[in-house]
Amino acid sequence: MNKIIILTVFLIFSQLCAHSQTTITKWKDDKKGAVSITFDDGNRNQFKYALPILERLQLPATFYVITGPIIGSQYPGKFIGRNVDDIIKETATIPTDSTNYFERASAAKYLNRIGADAYYDKSAIAFEDGKIDKAYKIMDTLYQKARNGSFKTGIEYSDEVAQEMGLSWDSIKVYASKGYEFASHTVTHTHLAVLDTTNINYELYKSKEDIRNHLGDEYTFDAEIPFGIEHPRALKYGFPAYAALRNMVRDSFMFEINRGYKTQPGSSDKEYVQWQRGPLSKTTLDQMKSYIDTTLAHNNIWLVLVFHGINGLGWEALPDSVLAAYFHYIKQNESNLWITTFKEAGKYMRERMHTTVTENKNDKKISVQLTQSLDEHVYNVPLTLKTYVPKNWKSVKVVQGNHQQKLQPKNDASGNYILYDAMPGKTNIELSVL
Ligand SMILES: [Zn+2]
């Protein structure tokens, strides 16, 4: 009786194994975690100081740039709507309320008046904090000052735009050709939650169009809406515009810990954890290194690092010497960490979670089929497959379409295996003994 049960269990177990010899590794090349280095605002010191360090270490990174001010852009910041003088005039008799707030906020930066920007910012922050009446009142003050001549005439630039001045598409193209990701940080780095629909969409889609026209579709996968905003109104328009936003994770298989949060990444049992850390000027190098150590101590963490200012220019500026030491530390751990752009990491995880693997085998051949439910024109990052092979296969040929690899098996507790790259959703993969 016992023998029959044991035999049955053995048969079921061996059947299961026969169908699950190939898996997609959690991270590319079967590493223990992923790290994406990202920079916001297109700050010129990022290209002057950080990029040369990254290039020297051969580390990839993602730059979220404000597209309007970039030299060569087709779409500068602008207000789309009625004549601003008519709007200013109207504010003398009609107080700001829910019917006109978004229009007034959208026009506020384009009144040709120096000083209006500070009121616009305060009003937007109040709105984002849910203090709606306060937001309306500040908007009323802004327009009152515009009417009574309190502001000087002229154009003013936000700090972020001023930090980016001088950046051109010509230089971005050179950086992109070296493997750096460039992605949208909107047209003008403004508060999207307070704009009207037309102007929100201009910020999102014209930024995307300039990126597409200069770099190609491949760079329009993700974006970061300014100020790390998580306001539902900004995200309502942002999510349909881009496949991914660094602002907020939408994938049900991923737990997100945002920059300011203290939650420890080990506490989630989700398949993946996106752990964002944004080192500030007071953050020590040891603290920054500990993010890497924590990522290595688990197997499901995607560490997304967010940097802004460098060497005195920009928000929470860090000295380049600290960045150099930190990037060097990251590089030292490259054998265990997949260091990649935001886009590549984001695509890999989605591909893996939306791909099913089937396998057929005989003594001489194993054929593997990947079936993916995503658009393969967008989701084009090679997946790492791990296939267990018979002990007597000393060398293995892997063929997928025109792509051939020759590999020597490694081994772990479960047997001999090979790790290899495969494109999702493409033709069969054939493994054979050499
Ligand atoms: Zn920003």
DSSP string computed for 152-199 = EES----HHHHHHTT-BHHHHHHHHHTT-EEEE--SS---GGGS-HHH
Per-residue pLDDT at 324: 98
Q: Read off the pLDDT of each residue in 223-235 and give the average, rounded to a whole number.
A: 97
| 10 confidence band (pLDDT: 50, 70, 90) | very low
Q: Read off the pLDDT of each residue in 73-91 and give the average, rounded to a whole number.
A: 98
Per-residue pLDDT at 427: 76
Is the distance from CB of 358 to CB of 368 less than 8 angstroms? yes
Q: 194 C-alpha to center of ligand 1: Å? A: 16
Q: 77 C-alpha to center of ligand 1: Å? A: 15
Q: 336 C-alpha to center of ligand 1: Å? A: 31
Instruction: Please give the structure tokens belonging to residue 25.
Output: 């590794």
Q: 277 C-alpha to center of ligand 1: Å? A: 15
Summary mean pLDDT of the chain: 94
Instruction: Please give the structure tokens belonging to residue 259.
Output: 């920059």
- The pLDDT tens digits for 239-248 are 999 999 999 9
Q: 124 C-alpha to center of ligand 1: Å? A: 15
Statement: residue 426 has pLDDT above 80: no
| 1 confidence band (pLDDT: 50, 70, 90) | very low
Q: 185 C-alpha to center of ligand 1: Å? A: 7
Q: 234 C-alpha to center of ligand 1: Å? A: 14
Q: 371 C-alpha to center of ligand 1: Å? A: 38
Q: 213 C-alpha to center of ligand 1: Å? A: 22
Q: 62 C-alpha to center of ligand 1: Å? A: 13
| 12 confidence band (pLDDT: 50, 70, 90) | very low
Three-state DSSP state, 420: strand
Q: 263 C-alpha to center of ligand 1: Å? A: 24
Measure CA 45 to chain center. 21
Instruction: Please give the structure tokens belonging to residue 268.
Output: 């989630």
Q: How far apart are the first and last CA of the chain?
A: 44
9-18, 74-83, 327-336, 369-378 — which is least confidently predicted? 9-18
Per-residue pLDDT at 183: 98
What lies within 8 Å, CB to CB, of 177 at 6+ separation is none
> How much of the chain, in percent, has pLDDT values that exceed 70?
95
41-55, 95-109, 282-296, 418-432 — which is least confidently predicted? 418-432
Q: 41 C-alpha to center of ligand 1: Å? A: 5
Q: How far apart are CA 373 and CA 360, in angstroms?
A: 21
Q: Read off the pLDDT of each residue in 155-161 and give the average, rounded to a whole number.
A: 94
Per-residue pLDDT at 13: 44
Q: 160 C-alpha to center of ligand 1: Å? A: 7
Instruction: Please give the structure tokens belonging to residue 141.
Output: 């003050």
Q: Read off the pLDDT of each residue in 386-415 and give the average, rounded to a whole number.
A: 94
Q: Which residue has the tokens 């590999």?
A: 407
- The pLDDT tens digits for 110-153 are 999 999 999 999 999 999 999 999 999 999 999 999 999 999 99
| Sign, CA torsion 248/357/429/374 | negative
Q: How far apart are CA 182 and CA 161, in angstroms?
A: 16
Q: 210 C-alpha to center of ligand 1: Å? A: 18
Q: Read off the pLDDT of each residue in 14-40 and give the average, rounded to a whole number.
A: 84
Per-residue pLDDT at 314: 96
Q: 341 C-alpha to center of ligand 1: Å? A: 18
Per-residue pLDDT at 358: 93
Q: 201 C-alpha to center of ligand 1: Å? A: 18
Q: 46 C-alpha to center of ligand 1: Å? A: 13
Q: How far apart are CA 233 and CA 169, in angstroms?
A: 30
Domains of the chain, start order: 32-70+164-346 (3.20.20.370), 84-151 (no CATH), 354-433 (2.60.40)
Statement: residue 356 has pLDDT above 60: yes
Closest to 121 (Cα-Cα) out of 166, 95, 160, 69: 160
Burial of 54 (0-12, 13-18, 19+ CB in 10 A): buried
Most confident of 126-140, 266-280, 368-382: 126-140
Q: Read off the pLDDT of each residue in 408-421 and give the average, rounded to a whole number.
A: 95
Q: Which residues of 395-423 are buried (b: 16+ CB within 10 A; e: fewer)?
A: ebebebeeeeeebebeeeeeebbbebbbb
Q: 186 C-alpha to center of ligand 1: Å? A: 9
Per-residue pLDDT at 336: 98
> How much of the chain, in percent, has pLDDT values that exceed 90?
89
Is the distance from CB of 195 to CB of 103 less than 8 angstroms? no
Q: 222-223 and 244-245 as β-strands: parallel, antiparallel, unpaired?
A: parallel
Per-residue pLDDT at 363: 82
Statement: residue 9 has pLDDT above 50: no
Q: How far apart are CA 52 and CA 35, in angstroms?
A: 19
- The pLDDT tens digits for 174-212 are 999 999 999 999 999 999 999 999 999 999 999 999 999
Note every long-range contact of 124-127, with CB atoms under 8 Å and residues 24 or more positions apart, other chains counting: 124/191, 124/193, 124/194, 125/191, 127/101, 127/191, 127/193, 127/194
Burial of 229 (0-12, 13-18, 19+ CB in 10 A): buried
- The pLDDT tens digits for 34-46 are 999 999 999 999 9
Q: 40 C-alpha to center of ligand 1: Å? A: 5
Q: 45 C-alpha to center of ligand 1: Å? A: 14
Closest to 420 (Cα-Cα) out of 430, 32, 375: 430
Q: 211 C-alpha to center of ligand 1: Å? A: 17
Q: 412 C-alpha to center of ligand 1: Å? A: 45
Closest to 36 (Cα-Cα) out of 347, 426, 338: 338
Per-residue pLDDT at 2: 52
Q: 395 C-alpha to center of ligand 1: Å? A: 50
